[in-house]
C-alpha cells in the first residue's frame, strides 16, 4: 500500500499503523438500518487523510454509501501485534480513471479480471474525520506476563498507547 506524508501530523501514526495492517472491515448502513461490514484492502492513505479502495460499481456498499449520508467506519486489526485502528469517516464513490491507473496493482486483477479498464471498477474514498488507535509496543510474551500479573494483583494491565485523532 502506498502512503503519503500527512498534512495533519497527528494522522502519521494512524497512517503508519494502517500501512502495516492494510485490510479493514468497512461498515456501512443498509436500507433497513442494519450495520453491514465487509473486508476491504486499503490501497493508499493520501496527504489529506483519505483512504482509497477499489470496489465494484454494482456493489451494495456503493448504494449504501450514496443513500445513508456516506458515514462509514473502518476497523483495522493486527491481533498478533495487538495493534488496532478504528476510523470514522465519510465515504464517496468516484469514477476517476487517472486515480485507478495510479492505484492499480496486479492483485486487483483477481477482483477485476478485465483489468484497470473494467467498467465495474470504481474507487471508494473514505475521508478520515476521527480515528482511534490502540498500539501495544510490547512483545506477545511481555503482554502475557502483564496479563498474568493483572490477574494476580487485580489491577488492569497497561497494554500500550491509546489515542483519538481528529482530522
Work out the number of other CB atoms within 10 angstroms of the CB of residue 107.
Answer: 10
**Could you tell me the pTM of the whole model?**
0.82
**Domains contained in the chain, CATH given:** 2-166 (2.30.110.10)
Tens-binned pLDDT, residue by residue, of the chain (167 aa): 666 665 677 788 899 999 989 999 999 999 899 999 999 999 999 988 999 999 999 999 999 997 656 899 999 999 888 899 999 999 999 999 999 999 999 999 999 999 999 999 999 999 999 999 998 765 545 445 555 555 676 777 665 678 888 88
CA 111, CA 66: separation in Å to the nearest integer?
22
Are 54 and 123 in contact by the 8 Å Cβ rule? The answer is yes
Are 159 and 5 in contact by the 8 Å Cβ rule? The answer is no
Q: Which residues contact 8 (CB under 8 A, 6 or more apart)?
A: 49, 165, 167
Amino acid at each position: 500500500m502506498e502512503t503519503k506524508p500527512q498534512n495533519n501530523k497527528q494522522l502519521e501514526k494512524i497512517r503508519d499503523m494502517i500501512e502495516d495492517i492494510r485490510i479493514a472491515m468497512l461498515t456501512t448502513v443498509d436500507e433497513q438500518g442494519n450495520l453491514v461490514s465487509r473486508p476491504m484492502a486499503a490501497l493508499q492513505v493520501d496527504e489529506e487523510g483519505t483512504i482509497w479502495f477499489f470496489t465494484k460499481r454494482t456493489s451494495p456498499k456503493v448504494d449504501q454509501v450514496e443513500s445513508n449520508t456516506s458515514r462509514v467506519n473502518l476497523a483495522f486489526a493486527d491481533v498478533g501485534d495487538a495493534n488496532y485502528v478504528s476510523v470514522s469517516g465519510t465515504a464517496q464513490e468516484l469514477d476517476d480513471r487517472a486515480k485507478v491507473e495510479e492505484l492499480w496493482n496486479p492483485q486487483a486483477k483477481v477482483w477485476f479480471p478485465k483489468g484497470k479498464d473494467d467498467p465495474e471498477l470504481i474507487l471508494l474514498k473514505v475521508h478520515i474525520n476521527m480515528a482511534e488507535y490502540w498500539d501495544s509496543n510490547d512483545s506477545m510474551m511481555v503482554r502475557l506476563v502483564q496479563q498474568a500479573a493483572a490477574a494476580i494483583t487485580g489491577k488492569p494491565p497497561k497494554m500500550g498507547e491509546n489515542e483519538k485523532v481528529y482530522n
